[in-house]
Amino acid sequence: MGDDSLNDAKEKMIKQHLIPRGIKNERVLAAFKKVPREEFVPPEIEAEAYQDRPLPIGEGQTISQPYIVAEMIQALEPTPGDKILEIGTGSGYAAAVLAEIVETVYGVERHQSLVDEAQTRLTRLNYDNVKLEVGDGTIGWAENAPYDGILVSAAAPEIPNSLVEQLVKGGYLVIPIGTKNIQQLYQIKKIEDDKITKKELGRVRFVPLLGEKGW
C-alpha cells in the first residue's frame, strides 16, 4: 500500500474504532496518529496493519488490535514525565505509542528474536527513549523501578505482586487476568504498599504470561 492509503487507513481506524468506543485521551489519540503501525507487522501483511484485530508477529505472538492497545494505554493515564514498564513488548508497537507520550519506556520480552526486531524498528524510527531486555516479565524489571505505570500485554492467572511492588503509590497496573482462554482486563491502582483498587475494563483474550509468577 502507498503512504496515502496507509494514512487513510490510520485515520479510519482512529475515527471508527477508537474514538466511538471511548478513547478520548488526547495524548493517546495524538500518539496513535504519529506511530506507523505498518512498521510493526510483517511486510506481507502491511495492508492489514490498521484493521482492528490482532495480527501475527512470529514466535506464536501477536500484535494486539489497535482498540485494545489504546484502551490499555489510556487506562495507564500516562503523562509526559512518566516512566512506564511494558511486559510482553512483542513487535514494539505499544512501546512506540507510549514513547510518544511519556519520558521513558522499559520493555521486557521473553523472545530474543522479537526483542532484536523490535529494537531495530524502534531505533530506525528514532524512539531512543525505549529500553528493551530479554527476561521474565512476571518479575518485572526491578533495576529501574519504581514505575508510574505498568502495562502487561499477556494474561496472568492472578495479579503478580512483584509488579505491584514496582509501582509508585498512585501508579496503575493494566493487566488481563483469568484463564488461558479468556480474561478480564483490569486497571489496578496502587494506593499503599499493601492496598490496591481494581476496576474491570472488559473481557479480552491474550496469550498467556509465561514465567515464575505466571503460567
The 10s digit of each residue's pLDDT in 130-143 is 999 999 999 999 99
Q: Find the DSSP H helices in 100-188.
A: 112-124, 161-165
Q: At residue 1, does pLDDT exceed 60?
A: no
Residue ranges covered by each domain of the chain: 53-204
pLDDT exceeds cutoff 70 at 205: yes
CATH superfamily of 53-204: Vaccinia Virus protein VP39 (3.40.50.150)
Question: What pLDDT digit, counting tens, does each position of 144-153 carry?
Answer: 999 999 999 9
pTM for this predicted structure: 0.94
On the question of pLDDT at 8 being above 80, the answer is: yes
Given a contact cutoff of 8 angstroms between Cβ atoms, the answer to whether 189 and 171 are in contact is yes
64 is catalytic: yes
State the cell numbers at 121.
524498528
Which among 93, 116, 115, 120 is positioned nearest to 34, based on CA atoms? 93
Which three cell numbers, joined as nine digits, stand for 163?
509488579
- CB neighbours (10 Å) of residue 56? 12
- Active-site residue, from 5, 64, 113, 153: 64
Instruction: Give the model confidence (pLDDT) of 73-113 as tens digits.
Output: 999 999 999 999 999 999 999 999 999 999 999 999 999 99
Section 18-35 average pLDDT: 97
Question: Residue 71: pLDDT band by 50, 70, 90 thresholds?
Answer: very high
